[in-house]
């Protein structure tokens, strides 16, 4: 458990730079957003938000859960207001209005949003306190609520694919190509190893408006220039390539088929991770490598091995569920964790919306392996770009994430002797397609 007020606060910011590094920073951002929404006289709702409000008001179970998750947020100063006195969201109608505003707002850059880790996850921040309550736990596991949230996120995704969303890609103070925004993008892309400019790193046209990107999503799913990310040992099938540009999080061995994954130690639960697929049994007792992507990272996936795509499909799941031990449901009461979902990455491998891609490696020492692309928070789309039966070479693109932060896993079967994973203590991304592990035949 990462406590809000204690000495572990720096860890909050380090975890992918997704969520606020301090309690007051979160209040300051959210309070300003709420004040802006409250100041608007016209609250005409987007059709999807009208549908969400109707669902809440017409379904007693959902109404009880949504209302209760707000009433369960403590009423003390820590949760009630931000340092400037701006109110928190206190009921579902208020929540609907704030989310309605975000649906036509692209994530903008500013030193402040970067400092508090909100460049990619504004909706997660809005739902932060209520999702950490017992009723919030139940609500965000509810299938009907998640189906509605998927519609909300898809509506936001449509806006992020529109030309209007590209307006945040200018070189102003709040633009992604302003001095500090571009510097941070470049720092993340160079992974502490190189010193390339943004233009030398990614395919773009700096002479064009918005560097040639047609939308926020076009920028978010940007691609590297040829040669920037070479494939590790392309002729050695014992070397496994990194599937995502990501920061190492955990290596687990001898994983169980099913475990009590809601306890604080968060062991993996293979059957749940793999959605009870008929191939899941083969991974019991095997090895899992997990790493996470920040909102600033490259978000396309690449084949870790050469081989045949056996299965590839998306599993619908939750978007904002966090385990109850991260919030007020803990039998030992404490504050709600401001990064509950981010620090519960093992839990979400079993419940969140995710892409499953099974690959039969050309290397018999590896055999069948699995890639999981796990959508976190605002990531409503796990986009698979390969099909069953297709042969891929190590390093080929196999899919991508849209909108926000995310995490991924590589699964190896029991008996596969896979080692030399990167240290989970590093604070740098491991380059995509670079070496991530080695298999000994």
* Positive or negative: CA dihedral 296, 301, 304, 306: negative
Reported as a single tens digit per residue, the pLDDT across 93-114 is 988 998 898 888 887 766 545 5
60, pLDDT greater than 80: yes
Quickly state the pLDDT bin for 130 (edges 50, 70, 90). confident
Segments in 59-133 forming alpha helices (H): 60-71, 77-80, 92-102, 111-115, 122-126
**CA gap 327, 336 in Å, rounded:** 4
pLDDT at res. 106: 85
Q: How large is the average pLDDT for residues 388-400?
A: 97
Let me know how long the chain is.
441
Reported as a single tens digit per residue, the pLDDT across 223-238 is 999 999 999 999 999 9
**CA gap 414, 395 in Å, rounded:** 24
- Say what the pTM is: 0.84
Q: In what order do the strands lie in the sheet with 397-402?
A: 300-302, 397-402, 381-384
**CA gap 352, 269 in Å, rounded:** 13
Q: In what order do the strands lie in the sheet with 354-361?
A: 247-253, 287-293, 406-412, 368-375, 354-361, 307-315, 391-392
Q: How large is the average pLDDT for residues 400-409?
A: 83
Q: How is the chain split into domains, by residue range?
A: 26-222, 239-439
pLDDT at res. 228: 96
pLDDT at res. 75: 55
**CA gap 394, 383 in Å, rounded:** 19
């Amino acid at each position: 458990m990462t406590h809000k007020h204690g000495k572990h606060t720096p860890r909050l910011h380090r975890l992918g730079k997704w969520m606020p590094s301090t309690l007051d920073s979160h209040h300051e951002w959210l309070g300003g957003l709420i004040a802006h929404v409250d100041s608007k006289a016209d609250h005409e709702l987007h059709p999807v938000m009208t549908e969400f409000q109707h669902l809440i008001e017409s379904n007693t179970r959902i109404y009880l859960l949504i209302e209760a998750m707000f009433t369960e947020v403590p009423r003390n100063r820590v949760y009630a207001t931000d340092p400037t006195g701006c109110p928190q969201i206190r009921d579902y109608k208020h929540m609907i209005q704030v989310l309605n505003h975000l649906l036509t707002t692209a994530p903008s850059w500013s030193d402040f949003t970067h400092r508090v880790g909100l460049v990619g996850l504004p909706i997660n921040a809005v739902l932060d306190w209520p999702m950490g309550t017992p009723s919030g736990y139940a609500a965000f596991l509810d299938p009907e609520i998640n189906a509605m949230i998927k519609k909300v996120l898809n509506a936001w995704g449509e806006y992020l694919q529109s030309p209007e969303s590209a307006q945040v890609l200018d070189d102003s103070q709040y633009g992604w190509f302003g001095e500090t925004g571009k510097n941070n993008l470049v720092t993340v892309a160079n992974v502490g190893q190189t010193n390339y400019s943004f233009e030398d790193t990614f395919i773009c046209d700096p002479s064009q408006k918005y560097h040639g990107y047609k939308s926020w999503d076009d920028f978010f799913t940007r691609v590297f220039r040829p040669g920037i990310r070479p494939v590790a040992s392309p002729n050695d099938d014992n070397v496994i390539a990194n599937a995502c540009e990501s920061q190492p999080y955990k290596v687990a061995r001898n994983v169980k088929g099913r475990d009590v994954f809601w306890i604080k130690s968060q062991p993996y639960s293979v059957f749940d991770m793999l959605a009870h697929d008929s191939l899941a049994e083969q991974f019991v007792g095997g090895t899992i490598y997990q790493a996470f992507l920040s909102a600033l990272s490259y978000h396309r996936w690449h084949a870790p091995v050469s081989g045949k795509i056996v299965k590839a499909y998306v599993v619908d799941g939750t978007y904002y569920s966090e385990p109850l031990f991260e919030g007020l449901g803990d039998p030992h009461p404490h504050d709600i964790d401001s990064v509950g979902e981010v620090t519960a990455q093992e839990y979400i491998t079993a419940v969140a919306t995710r892409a499953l891609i099974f690959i039969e490696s050309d290397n018999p020492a590896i055999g069948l392996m699995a890639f999981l692309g796990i959508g976190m928070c605002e990531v409503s789309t796990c986009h698979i770009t390969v099909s069953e039966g297709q042969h891929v070479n190590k390093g080929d693109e196999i899919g991508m994430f849209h909108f926000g932060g995310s995490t991924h896993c590589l699964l190896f079967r029991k008996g596969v002797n896979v080692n030399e994973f990167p240290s989970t203590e590093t604070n740098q991304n491991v380059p995509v397609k670079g070496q991530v592990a080695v298999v000994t035949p």
